[in-house]
Amino acid sequence: MINGERLIERPLRWGMVGGGRTGQVGYKHRTGALRDGTYKLICGAFDLDAARGRDFGVKLGVEANRCYADYKELIAGETAREDGVEVVSIATPNFTHYEITKACLEAGLHVICEKPLFFTVEECDEVAKLAEEKGLIVGVTYGFTGHPLVHQMAAMVKKGMLGDIRIVDMQYTHGFNAGDDVGAGEALKWRTNPKTAGPTFVLGDIGTHLYYLSEVVLPHLKIERLLCDRKAFIPTRAPLEDHATVLMHYDNGARGRLWVSSVNAGNMGSQRYRFVGSKASIEWSDAHPDQLIYEVQGEPNRILHHGMPYLEEESLAVDRMGALHTEGLGDSWSNIYLWIAQAIDAKNRDDEAFLKTHHYPGIKAGTEGVRWLENCVRSADAGSAWVDFK
């Protein structure tokens, strides 16, 4: 169980690009990073409006002279200091991820970036090579993959409790974009513009969460072929999609279905995962994050509760609140940030043995998410045709 004891020698000097007062994800990053004493927020370029960003940063406790106008000023200012920033989180629109990540790495800074990581696998491979050459970590924030019941599912699959995996069924939908875009906020505007969002809207914005979590639970399964059908029910969002269904064929013969939508009217937003094997099935949803449904063929259904001693050690080791209290998104983000901090600490100490066995969402996880998106777009653009996954 995680109890707040610092698991690295000292806090990492941490900064943010984006994530300011009007941002949607900044507080999630700070909730995750600051909880265990593994990071100390010392600087930021929080906002396109420099004055507003400075005011916001000061109210977070950052010195005014370390609240910068943009990421270029941040890098220049911090690399000139002996006590400069070591790791930077990027919580900005998709189209900026590549240039900011690359600039930080070239300056010798570790990076934690929002998803989808970049627009193309080619960009991902370039940055992965640069990070390797510089001896630096790139982490990616896939929100719920730090939840203890996700790791309970992974442990159950690994130990054969489900048998051979046959069916993978995933859903992440909400209805907050069911209406037209008249008066839309800036967040929706950039997410539905190919120049700023990239080649997808909901596939990249929420679909990559589903895909990466399935990789955590089912690391032995690989997609061989997929078919993506996507549509913009609000025409002004075309050519990007506000709804998509993806069918997947895996290398063991399993079949997968993934549904993402931001026009599921009345739905308040939820992720649901069901993994079906030859012996049993498991199902988990963030709408009921404390409960994992375990169904063994021919036996009564069971509801497993987080934090209980009958769970696998892999789950109990990353639990924070204990069985009596709800374990949610903030706890998951804290785990993700902790795991990335441990990776950065190990990289700083040249502890490659630790890194070989340590789990965290890194550059490979980000790259595979972009690869999945590229294949989805290729299929959709070919008239929702089956394509070989590559």
Residues 126 and 275 in one domain: no
Half-sphere exposure (Cβ direction) of 42: Cα atoms closer than 13 Å: 20
**Beta strands per DSSP E along 132-290:** 138-140, 165-173, 223-231, 243-250, 255-261, 270-277, 280-285
Please check whether residue 344 is in contact with residue 137, taking contact to mean a CB–CB distance below 8 angstroms.
Answer: yes
Q: DSSP letters along 42-93, please?
A: EEEE--SSHHHHHHHHHHHT--GGGB-SSHHHHHHHHHTSTT--SEEEEES-
Residues 340 and 226 in one domain: no
Helices (H), 159-228: 186-191, 194-197, 202, 208-217
Residues 98 and 138 in one domain: yes
Sheet holding 110-113, edge to edge: 39-45, 12-18, 87-91, 110-113, 138-140
Distance set, CA 334 to CA 33, 123, 128, 213, 287 (Å): 6, 28, 24, 16, 19
Q: Give a yes or no: residue 152 inside a domain.
A: yes
Distance set, CA 132 to CA 110, 119, 125, 135, 138 (Å): 11, 20, 11, 5, 10
**R_g of the chain, CA atoms, integer Å:** 21
Please check whether residue 12 is in contact with residue 40, taking contact to mean a CB–CB distance below 8 angstroms.
Answer: yes
284-309 in b/e form (b: 16+ CB < 10 A) is bebeebbebebeeeeeeeeebebbee
Distance set, CA 43 to CA 10, 21, 293, 344 (Å): 17, 15, 43, 18
Structural domain span for residue 304: 148-315+369-388
User: Nearest Cα to 20, choosing from 63, 55, 71?
Assistant: 55
Instruction: Tell me the C-alpha distance between 239 and 199, whole Å.
Output: 8
Residues 363 and 377 in one domain: no
Residues 307 and 186 in one domain: yes
What's 208's DSSP letter?
H
Q: Give a yes or no: residue 361 inside a domain.
A: yes
Residues 359 and 228 in one domain: no
User: Nearest Cα to 216, choosing from 91, 327, 325, 318?
Assistant: 318
Residues 173 and 73 in one domain: no
Instruction: Tell me the C-alpha distance between 154 and 219, whole Å.
Output: 8
pLDDT of residue 269: 84
Instruction: Tell me the C-alpha distance between 20 and 216, whole Å.
Output: 30
User: Nearest Cα to 367, choosing from 197, 17, 126, 198?
Assistant: 126
First to last CA, the chain: 39
Report the CATH number at residue 237.
3.30.360.10
Q: Give a yes or no: residue 241 inside a domain.
A: yes
Instruction: Tell me the C-alpha distance between 206 and 188, whole Å.
Output: 13
Residues 91 and 26 in one domain: yes
The total domain count for the chain is 2
User: Nearest Cα to 136, choosing from 287, 346, 330?
Assistant: 346
Residue 32 makes CB contacts below 8 A (sequence gap 6+) with 141, 330, 333, 334, 336, 337
- In sequence order, the β-bridge partners of residue 284 are 273, 292
Q: Give a yes or no: residue 324 inside a domain.
A: no
User: Nearest Cα to 40, choosing from 79, 92, 106, 86?
Assistant: 86
pLDDT of residue 334: 97
Q: Give a yes or no: residue 325 inside a domain.
A: no
Residues 351 and 378 in one domain: no
Please check whether residue 131 is in contact with residue 105, taking contact to mean a CB–CB distance below 8 angstroms.
Answer: yes
Q: Give a yes or no: residue 234 inside a domain.
A: yes
76-98 in b/e form (b: 16+ CB < 10 A) is ebbeeeeebbbbbbbbbbbbbbb
Residues 179 and 306 in one domain: yes
Q: Give a yes or no: residue 4 inside a domain.
A: no
Q: Give a yes or no: residue 345 inside a domain.
A: yes
Residues 121 and 29 in one domain: yes
Distance set, CA 385 to CA 226, 229, 240, 246 (Å): 8, 8, 17, 11
pLDDT of residue 24: 87
Report the CATH number at residue 89.
3.40.50.720
Residues 381 and 237 in one domain: yes
pLDDT in tens, the chain (390 residues): 999 999 999 999 999 999 999 988 999 999 999 999 999 999 999 999 999 999 999 999 999 999 999 999 999 999 999 999 999 999 999 999 999 999 999 999 999 999 999 999 999 999 999 999 999 999 999 989 999 999 999 999 999 999 999 999 999 999 999 999 998 999 999 999 999 999 999 999 999 999 999 999 999 999 999 999 999 999 999 999 999 999 999 999 999 999 999 999 999 988 999 999 999 999 999 999 999 999 999 999 999 999 999 999 999 999 999 999 999 999 999 999 999 999 999 999 999 999 999 999 999 999 999 999 999 999 999 999 999 999
Residue owning tokens 């203890």: 148
